[in-house]
Structure formats: C-alpha cells, structure tokens
C-alpha cells in the first residue's frame, strides 16, 4: 500500500464572530467562491495571529481572486462557515484553484482543503499539487460520516501541517492566491457501467467495484480475500473520471470469497475505522491481513489492518465474515511498540503467520527514505519489522526485529512451505539513490527465504523476484501488493493492477486498483518461478453446484450492476453473515455464473428472490453466451417493494454451462433487486416453496434445491 499520510490541521477557530453568510444561489454551497464580491463570506483561520486576506485582480477566472499573505501557521488560510449548509451522511465534491509565485519556494507544493468540525476534529476533503507560478487545481470527493456532529462546520485552504513552519517559511508559509472555490452535493452515479471484465477472463476477479492489497485466507472449502476498499473514494464525475485515489478516507475493508476461484461472492464491507467504524480511534483501514486460531476451545478470527502509515490495528471476529469487534481498545503497533520505529519508517501493511507450533508472528512496516539519496538508504532502508504475537493474537511479545530486505518499500507477506519461510515485499522506486543491479528491480514483488519465522532476515537470504510491477504487463504501473495461499493442493499468488480503472476511462488511471490471481510454481530447490500478469486468471478448481441457494452477488462476469447490503438473512452463509443483493439493475444489464454443472438429470426450475421496483421487468436466462437464445424468462410482475420468490420452468438444461442472466424492462428506471438464485433438479419431488419469511422457508428452499 503506497501511503499518503493524511494532513492533520493544528488550527482551531474560536471566538471568531462573523455575520451569517448569504447562501449561494446555484448548486455551489460556497458563498462568493469566485471572490467577485471581494472578501464577503471569508475570514482567516487562526487564533494566534491571523493571516491577511485581500482582493487581487490576478484571477483564474472572472475579474477577482483572493490573496493570502502573512500566514503564521500552515493552516492560516481563508475559511468559510458552512454551519447549517452541509449534512451528515451526504457526499460532496469540492474544488478550488490555487497559485503561488515565491521564487524561493519549491517548484511544486501540495495544497489541501480541510473541514473543521470544532474542537480537534478535522477532515481532509481534497488536495492537489500546484506548480509554482501556475494556477493549480485542488479537488476531492468526500462523505460526511453519518455520526459526525456538524453543529460547527468550516472549510479552509491550507498547506500540509508541520509543527514549526517558521523555520522554513518559503517552503511552508508562502503567500498564495485562491479562486473558484466550489462545494456541491455529489449526484453522479458511482455504478461502473462499462464492460470491465470480458467473459472468459479470470482477471480482474471482480468488475463492479475496486479492491486493492488483497490478502487471501483459506477457511474450510473457501478462499476469502480481504481488500483495501478503493471504491470508497471512487467518485466519477459526469465525464466518468474520478479524482485520483489518495487513499485518505478509506475506512472499510472489502471482502469477497470463492470456492472455485472463478465465481466470486461479494460480502460487502467491514466498517473498521472512523466515526462509523468498529475502531473509531483509527483514521483509515488499509492492507488487511487475516488468520484464525483456536483459543480456549473456540476458533477466533483476527483481522489486522493499517491505520494509515502510522500504526496497525486488529479486530477479532467469530467467523471469516464476522461479526467483528474491538477487543484491545487501542492500536496494536505504534511508535511505542519496542523496536517498531526508527522515526522515519512506516508502521503499516501487516502480514500474519501462525506457525505449526501455534505461535504467531506479525510482519509490518515500510518507507524509510531518509532523503539522503544514498546507495545504502535506497538499497537497505531496513524499514520493515517482524514481532512475536502473544497467545491471544492481539498483543505483542518482546521487541520487533529489523528485516533487511534489499530495496524494501512496503507490502510485507509471509508464508511457509515444506519447512521454509518465504518473506515477500514490494521494492521501492529508487529513493533517489543508485539501485544495486544484483537486487530486485524497482516496484516489484521480491522475496527472501529462511529457516525460521524470525529469520534472521538479511540481504544474504534474498532469493529473487516473484512478480514485476503491474505496469510491465498491463501498461498501468503504480504500487504493488501481494499474497500467497495454498488451495486444493496448488499455490496461488494474488496481486492488484489498475486494469478495471483503465477500462472505465478508456486508458487512463487514477490509482483505483483491482484484485488479480495467478498460479504460483516452485523450482526443485524451493525457489519461486516468476509470475506473469495476465487477464487469464486461473482455471476453476470445481464446477458450481446449482442445487443449493446461490447468492445473486456470486458473479463471474457482469455489466452495469452494483451491490448493496440488505437486512434479509443470507441464504448461502447464514443469518450472522452480511447479506448483499444485486442492485441498480437497468435495462440491458446482466450477470453471469461460470461452469454451472446441471448434471445428467438437469434442472427443471429456476427460482429468483427479487425485490420488484418498476412494473415490466424481466429476467432472461441464457446459456454459454450473453447473446445466446433465451431458454427461460421470469416476469418480475409481483407488487413493488416486497421481497418475493418468482419461478420459471427449464427444459433440457443438462451438463456444464456458463449461465447468463440478462435483465430487461423500461428504460431510465431501476428494475428490481435480486437476493438469490435457486435451481431445482428434475429429480426433485418437493412442493413449491413456502412464502418468504415463514419459519420453514429456508429449509424448504434447501430441500427443493436438492441439498
């Protein structure tokens, strides 16, 4: 996970009395955002000596802009009171133009738009890097948490916070100009409408949402992937392009699973951090890692996550899908953890290993650039660590030990095979120093091998490269992150790439990543054969059994749909598991299941659990191709707004097929939502299902499905 540390503003507005601003007359919630009315609605943000605000004719547009001079602190920029204007739970977009001209200032400088909710509560709304002497754009899209108190809400422009900016005012306190500040409620759909995954492809694993830093966890007969939820900050504009992913504000973990490695179930998101999260004291949740252990006779599940670059936390769950809770009440890895920090390395990207003796180990860290540009710092930043975990898996034992992996940057991962321990990581991009040609290439997944989980992990244990940067294979580079797992006797490798982002935009990328998978092979000496990135994915390990309840959000390929959490119990994973439905279904949208085995006797019926929204919708069933002849149709003609089961007869559906569900109905309307599918075998003798919600309905469905 390539980190961008969130700006923390050290500014508090108190005792400032201003007249209530006049509301904007258009969709812009900012008053006088173009400064054509002078300084109306604006005041300086500071309590220890204000900056000076004045008008200037050097404007980005129109005839006037604002000039900010004499800032005593980085946050002493122009501020506007939005109290009574913004609301919790809503999504907003924000933009502003900024220009600075001090010839002694850096050639580029980041500027930030921040919201102050009173007290010590600040939220970064958007950011942008501005080139000296040119008007630059700050923009962002953000959600005000549903639990956020907006009794006070003030927006201001600043440069990134530093404790003592006066020691280098040209870098931190330069004068700047502001123009065209706009804040609007976000209304554009976030559903990905393009064909992001072509039928027959295995990568990316999902195409209706993004997911990065996938960590694989095998439990029972399924593989679960836990991912950084890039979709949380994906806000495409009318042109389909989203502001760049800066990772700030990602507070949930996305979970998908599969038992065949081709059809993937969307389990939604775990609310980890922030005001609405399980661990409210955490700001972000990135790069998760998951394992389980039997403690006091009960299997417990542990989800470790990166709280930005500064620390690592842990949740405890009752199953791979939760429910999850906070057992520690504090972060697990911080600067106070013995041996964890040298003052410049990051404390993120956790990986966990439970050895055969039941002892646990946590691997974490990254960064470490000391800005020296030296050979030693570039090739041996010594920025990652390993520490022993307590028997409870939510505490640490002793001191963290340094991992000296060549060119190390981030993305620690650990697995064990045939008595050998494999520590893999993403290499850095040079740190401005010369790169050792005998080590890994930049931005690649490299690995070390040792005989003990604690190593010692030294340059002598370097074993080679597993996977080069995704840009090598897909034309879109960026950060790199991986995991390794064994399933059905075969090892697999996960990585992320911006393939879906490319298809959404027609070629460009904004940093939104998607999970991918490949087989992992080994040489006779235990070293790893290099993985090549492809759209192919991997072969299925089994066919899909249709004679059981199938979550509708089980998808191999799709176009145009989204998913949403619903309150109905999950037919496939039980009442304690989160349950999603396929949503935002429009005329022409479709979903598909791969390699469905109807067997020799074949299927006689298909039942769909649906929520009708608009009269006239239909579900069509096709085999093997999206445009193949329709073999069955379910008219969705039940009363709108009530979950119901609708059935269609099938004839002659035997053997293994890809099954396409195509959706038709009136244009410009959401047609219906779908919770689950259930096929009935021709051999089944059961009666029609009981009404949904009756005490025996779930058992009846399982019986009719032949389970």
Residues forming the active site: 213, 410
Query: Which pair of structure tokens corresponds to residue 407?
Result: 């060119």
Q: In a 10 Å sphere around its CB, with 0-12 CB exposed, 13-18 middle and 19+ buried, how is residue 694 labelled?
A: exposed
Do 77 and 13 touch, CB atoms closer than 8 A? no
Q: Is the torsion defined by CA of 402, 405, 406, 408 positive or negative?
A: negative
Rounded alpha-carbon distances, angstroms, from residue 94 to 182, 186, 573, 639: 6, 9, 40, 41
Fill in the DSSP letter of residue 230: G
Rounded alpha-carbon distances, angstroms, from residue 25 to 20, 30, 32, 34, 60: 15, 10, 10, 13, 21
Distance from C-alpha of 159 to C-alpha of 156, rounded to nearest angstrom: 10
Fill in the DSSP letter of residue 339: T
Helix (H, G, I), strand (E, B) or coil at 705: coil
Sequence-distant (6+) residues with CB within 8 A of 275 are 145, 146, 147, 148
Distance from C-alpha of 357 to C-alpha of 673, rounded to nearest angstrom: 48
Do 211 and 228 touch, CB atoms closer than 8 A? yes
SS3 content of the chain, % helix, strand, coil (to 5): 5, 40, 55
Whether the ω angle into residue 520 lies within 30 degrees of 0, i.e. cis, is no
Which of 370, 392, 388, 391 minimizes the C-alpha distance to 379? 370
Distance from C-alpha of 122 to C-alpha of 705, rounded to nearest angstrom: 53
Distance from C-alpha of 48 to C-alpha of 74, rounded to nearest angstrom: 12
Distance from C-alpha of 157 to C-alpha of 641, rounded to nearest angstrom: 45
Radius of gyration of the chain (CA): 27
Distance from C-alpha of 409 to C-alpha of 382, rounded to nearest angstrom: 9
The size of the chain, in residues, is 707
User: Where do we find the tokens 């092979």?
Assistant: 521
Backbone region of residue 278 per phi and psi (left: phi > 0; alpha: psi in -120 to 50; beta: other values): alpha
User: String of b and e for 206-225 (b: at least 16 CB within 10 Å)?
Assistant: bbbbbbbbbbbbebeeebbb
Q: Residue 246 CB: number of other CB atoms within 10 A?
A: 17
Do 51 and 69 touch, CB atoms closer than 8 A? yes
Do 546 and 679 touch, CB atoms closer than 8 A? yes
Do 662 and 626 touch, CB atoms closer than 8 A? yes
Q: How far does Cα 124 stand from its chain's mean position?
A: 18
């Amino acid at each position: 996970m390539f980190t961008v540390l969130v700006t923390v503003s050290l500014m508090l507005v108190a005792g400032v009395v201003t007249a209530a601003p006049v509301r904007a007359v258009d969709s812009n919630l900012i008053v006088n955002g173009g400064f054509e009315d002078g300084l109306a609605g604006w005041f300086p943000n500071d309590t220890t000596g204000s900056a000076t605000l004045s008008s200037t004719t050097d404007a980005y547009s129109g005839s006037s802009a604002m000039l900010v001079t004499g800032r005593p602190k980085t946050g002493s920029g122009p501020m506007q009171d939005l109290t009574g204007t913004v609301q919790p739970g809503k999504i907003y977009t924000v933009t502003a133009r900024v220009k600075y001209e001090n010839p002694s200032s850096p050639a580029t400088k980041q500027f930030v738009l921040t919201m102050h909710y009173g007290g010590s509560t600040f939220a970064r709304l958007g950011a942008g890097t501005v080139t000296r002497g040119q008007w630059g754009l700050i923009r962002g899209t953000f959600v005000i948490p549903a639990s956020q108190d907006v009794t006070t809400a003030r927006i201001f422009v600043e440069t990134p916070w530093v404790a003592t900016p006066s020691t280098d005012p040209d870098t931190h306190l330069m004068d700047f100009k502001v123009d065209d500040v706009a804040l609007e409620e976000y209304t554009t759909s976030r559903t990905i409408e393009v064909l992001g995954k072509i039928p027959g492809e295995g990568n990316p694993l999902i195409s209706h949402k993004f997911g990065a830093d996938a960590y694989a966890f095998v439990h029972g007969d399924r593989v679960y992937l836990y991912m950084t939820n890039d979709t949380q900050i994906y806000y495409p504009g009318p042109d389909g392009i989203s502001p760049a992913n800066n990772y700030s504000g990602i507070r949930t973990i996305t979970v998908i699973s599969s038992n065949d490695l081709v059809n993937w179930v969307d389990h939604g998101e775990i609310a980890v951090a922030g005001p609405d999260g399980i661990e409210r004291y955490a700001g972000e949740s990135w790069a998760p890692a998951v394992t389980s252990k039997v403690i006091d006779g009960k299997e417990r599940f542990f989800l470790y996550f990166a709280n930005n670059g500064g620390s690592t936390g842990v949740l405890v769950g009752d199953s791979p899908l939760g429910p999850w809770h906070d057992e520690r009440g504090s972060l697990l890895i911080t600067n106070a953890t013995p041996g964890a920090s040298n003052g410049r390395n990051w404390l993120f990207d956790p990986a966990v290993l439970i050895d055969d003796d039941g002892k646990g180990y946590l691997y974490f860290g990254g960064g470490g650039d000391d800005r020296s540009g030296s050979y030693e710092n570039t090739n041996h930043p010594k920025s990652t660590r390993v520490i022993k975990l307590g028997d409870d898996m939510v505490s640490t034992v002793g001191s963290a030990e340094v991992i000296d992996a060549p060119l190390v940057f981030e993305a620690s991962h650990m697995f064990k095979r045939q008595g050998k321990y494999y520590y893999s990581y993403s290499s850095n991009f040079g740190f401005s120093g010369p790169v050792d040609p005998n080590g890994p290439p930049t931005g690649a997944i490299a690995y070390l091998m040792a005989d003990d989980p604690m190593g010692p992990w030294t340059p002598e244990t370097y074993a080679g490269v597993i996977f080069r940067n995704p840009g090598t294979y897909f034309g879109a580079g960026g950060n790199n992150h991986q995991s390794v797992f064994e399933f059905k006797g075969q090892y697999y490798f996960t990585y992320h790439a911006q393939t879906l982002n490319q298809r959404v935009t027609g070629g460009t990328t904004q940093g939104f990543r998607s999970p991918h998978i490949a087989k992992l092979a080994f040489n006779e000496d235990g070293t790893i054969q290099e993985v090549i990135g492809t759209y192919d994915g991997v072969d299925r390990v089994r066919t899909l059994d249709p004679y059981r309840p199938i979550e509708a959000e089980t998808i191999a390929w799709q176009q145009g749909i989204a998913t949403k959490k619903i309150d109905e119990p999950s037919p496939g994973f039980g009442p304690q598991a989160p349950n999603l439905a396929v949503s935002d279904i429009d005329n022409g949208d479709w979903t598909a299941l791969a390699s469905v085995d109807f067997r020799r006797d074949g299927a006689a019926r298909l039942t769909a659990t649906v929520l009708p929204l608009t009269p006239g919708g239909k579900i069509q069933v096709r085999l093997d191709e999206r445009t193949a002849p329709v073999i069955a149709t379910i008219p969705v003609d039940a009363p709108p707004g009530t979950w119901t089961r609708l059935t269609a007869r099938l004839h002659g559906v035997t053997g293994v097929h890809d099954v396409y569900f195509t959706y038709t109905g009136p244009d410009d309307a959401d047609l219906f939502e779908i919770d689950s599918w259930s096929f009935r075998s021709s051999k089944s003798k059961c009666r029609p299902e009981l009404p949904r919600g009756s005490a025996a309905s779930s058992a009846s469905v399982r019986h009719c499905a032949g389970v």
